[in-house]
Amino acid sequence: MVWLKGHRRQSLKLGLVIAAVSMGLFGAASLAPSEAVVAATTTTTQQQATLTLSDYEHASALQLAQMVRSGKVTKQQLIQLAMTKIKQDNPQLNAVLTLREDKALSEADAMTDTGQPFYGVPILIKGLAQELLGEPATQGLPYSSDRVASYTKPFVKQLQSLGFVVIGQTNYPELGLLNVTTSKLYGTASNPWNTANNPGGSSGGAAASVADDMVPLATGNDAGGSIRIPASWSGTIGLKPTSGMIVGDSATSSMASFAETESMADTETLFDNMLSGKVTAEAAPSDLKGQTIAYSTKSPVGTPVSQDAVNAVNQTVAFLKQQGFNVKQVDSPVDGKALMMAYYKSATSSGYAANTFARSKFHRDLEADDGGIMTYALYEASKKLNPNTDGVAVKQTIATATQQMVDFHKQYPLYLTPTTATTAPSNSDPAFLPEYVAKLRNIGSLDSAAQMQLIYDAWLHGLSKSPFTQLANLTGEPAISLPTYVSADKLPLGVQFQAAKGQDRLLLAMGKLFEDQGQLKMRDTQNQTGTSDNGTPNTDATTSTTPTQTPDTTPQQPTQKPVTTPTKPTTKVTYPKAVYAKTGINVYKDVDLMHRVKHFTKQARTKAVTFNVLGVAYSKGGALRYRVKGGYITANKQVTAALYYQTNPKCVRVIAAHGIYEYQKFQFKASQRTTHLKKGAVVTVKLIKQQGKLTQLQLTNGQWVTGNKTCLIQTK
């Protein structure tokens, strides 16, 4: 953070080893207690939104901006929809700390359309180091709870210039020092996938808010994994750009600012419009599949790695090989333990900064009970480090690691690992084990070497869950976490790609490939109820979701080696006569989905692309494909769903913009029309009837309506 830079030389005199390390060793963000959400009461006249809350939840930021421009919804209505969702779900998640509804509505009123890519889109910003004039800037310190920002950071100003309307701030741990979101000041955050678990940190509030569809995009920052760790544990896309790449960031800092997202189009557009110009963003290579990829599941600090993390990487490796990439198992050349010790030494500047605030507040030095125990330990350790020995050693360790990765990427442009070694930890799992808390309280009595060893040992409980992310920060390289895996316990886990400095667009291209191939597993495509091709419950990307203890998810199996011709199923397969796309989808010339013919972007369900299914085929690996006009599409239930209801829904709600008609008879002739049901109407279903491709629903009043899922959604 800017406000820390002036103190670093005084505290450590380490020669500004890692600027802004206080932004979090791991990357955390937390949720505020529900009663802490501050929402100004708006006096603006409430307008009836033409966009449903469900439509809002499942639209990308770019899609929302287009809806504003087309007149489907107003900027003010988008803000009101976001507020409705936040107030509905935040009491369970504690993801959002403050709301600025009146200010946001006023700013939306004053905004004019000048071609901004995110015109009128509501956004949440991280409460740490993304200051907005007049809003809280506490750094998560209990004794700074009344501190407000005296100016707006360049990063936030740039967001506003792109058309975003800031509606509030998200939760984070004290000084961003944890890989989970919990603090004395703001409490503990919960994960939308399972509220008993943490969303990660330090941008945990941001990740939770995006995973829960409060907003399509929320900003974070990352000095050790603070964007990527919560992305892994919350099932979002998390890019940490090259150091200095983004407006407001330093090229010599370990901290990078960006966002939690759910769409690669949003991610790439935000990246292209947030460039600082200090560092060159190289073009993605034209031969993407010519890039050799190294992969490893070995912890760089020698800690255990869960089977889920290994499975996530193995699935990705299988997919990459199926796509034609050259993939080799190679461990990082860097001494991970030495690198983390250097990291912790530089992090003592956070403790010094916390003491500066304590002295201003209390007119005394920081004490163990003033804030988090690690904040106190880092302050005590900062007093005994020697700038002539420790400072030089830290700089040399980082320089060595940086050069090792430069050489590594000459042979392996991409480095694949799990983003985290485990799925999201339980909120009952402490950040520091009790025996270490007691030792940290007495850290002042130890010499410098013993202090640093104690800090390393105390942090190992947390570090062991996320040991893969810090390397990119210390070397300044870009890295991205992609949500590709869901465990048997129905929790997400991401995989991380790391590239050489300036190769951010290579990472974006990889993310786009995974998205196009249906490899990304977002919560809203994992946790919905619809109808599968055999009449059993399946995912449905248009039903409004709320936090749950038991989301319905199923990990996708790795794709097998491709074949060149379709193979017929050995038994008769029941399949839908028509399907709609719940995400972006590709049509391929071949059954192995290697040669793309056409791409369709993700749309709201009422406008989703639909396909008549002409038949089915299997790849050699057993993956089911639908044969459609022009080629083949995936039958992945996270990507496609039956266009018509095939099991009897009890109640349905009309989502068609112009409503639908009830008919006297099944034949649906114009002369048989009776009542017109407007958008939003809810009716009760008596039975379902199928004839050919079509499915019709008979209501309890004896009338008939269409069973088309782009017109109706199942409801209570």
Peptide bond into 203 cis (omega under 30): no
Kindly state the DSSP code that residue 373 receives in the 8-state scheme. H
Paired residues of 222 in beta bridges: 256
**Alpha-carbon radius of gyration of the chain:** 26
DSSP per position, 470-484: HHHHHHT--EEEEEE
Calpha distance 31→43 (Å, rounded)? 27
Q: Which one from 75, 85, 103, 126 is the annotated catalytic residue?
A: 126
Q: Listing from the earlier edge strand, what are the strands of the sheet with 640-642?
A: 610-612, 578-581, 640-642
Token pair, residue 368, equals 């163990």
Span between the terminal Cα atoms of the chain, in Å: 48
Residues 631, 596 contacting (CB under 8 angstroms) = no
**Regarding beta strands 237-240 and 256-261, do their DSSP bridges make them parallel or antiparallel, or are they unpaired?**
antiparallel
Q: Which one from 11, 30, 60, 226 is the annotated catalytic residue?
A: 226
Q: Per residue in 597-612, is it b (16+ CB within 10 Å) or e — as a string?
A: eeebebbbbbebbbbe
Among this protein's residues, is 184 annotated catalytic? no
**Regarding beta strands 651-654 and 694-699, do their DSSP bridges make them parallel or antiparallel, or are they unpaired?**
unpaired
Token pair, residue 672, equals 């048989």
Residues 643, 598 contacting (CB under 8 angstroms) = no
Give burial (CB, 10 Å; 0-12/13-18/19+) of 363. Answer: exposed
Q: Report the 3 state secondary structure along 505-528.
A: HHHHHHHHHHHHCCCCCCHHHHCC
Among this protein's residues, is 465 annotated catalytic? no
Paired residues of 467 in beta bridges: none
Token pair, residue 457, equals 């040992």
**Regarding beta strands 414-418 and 293-295, do their DSSP bridges make them parallel or antiparallel, or are they unpaired?**
parallel
Token pair, residue 75, equals 């900027």
Q: If residue 153 lies in a helix (H) or strand (E), which one and from where to where? A: none
Among this protein's residues, is 75 annotated catalytic? no
Q: 396 CB contacts (<8 Å, ≥6 apart)? A: none
Phi, psi of 585 (to 5 degrees): -145, 150
Calpha distance 145→150 (Å, rounded)? 15
Residues 221, 156 contacting (CB under 8 angstroms) = no
Token pair, residue 710, equals 């782009």
Kindly state the DSSP code that residue 441 receives in the 8-state scheme. H
Phi-psi region of 116 (alpha: psi -120 to 50; beta: other; left: phi over 0): beta
Q: Which one from 190, 202, 254, 350 is the annotated catalytic residue?
A: 202
Q: 491 CB contacts (<8 Å, ≥6 apart)? A: 191, 193, 194, 197, 233, 423, 424
Residues 233, 122 contacting (CB under 8 angstroms) = no
Q: Which residues are catalytic?
A: 126, 202, 226
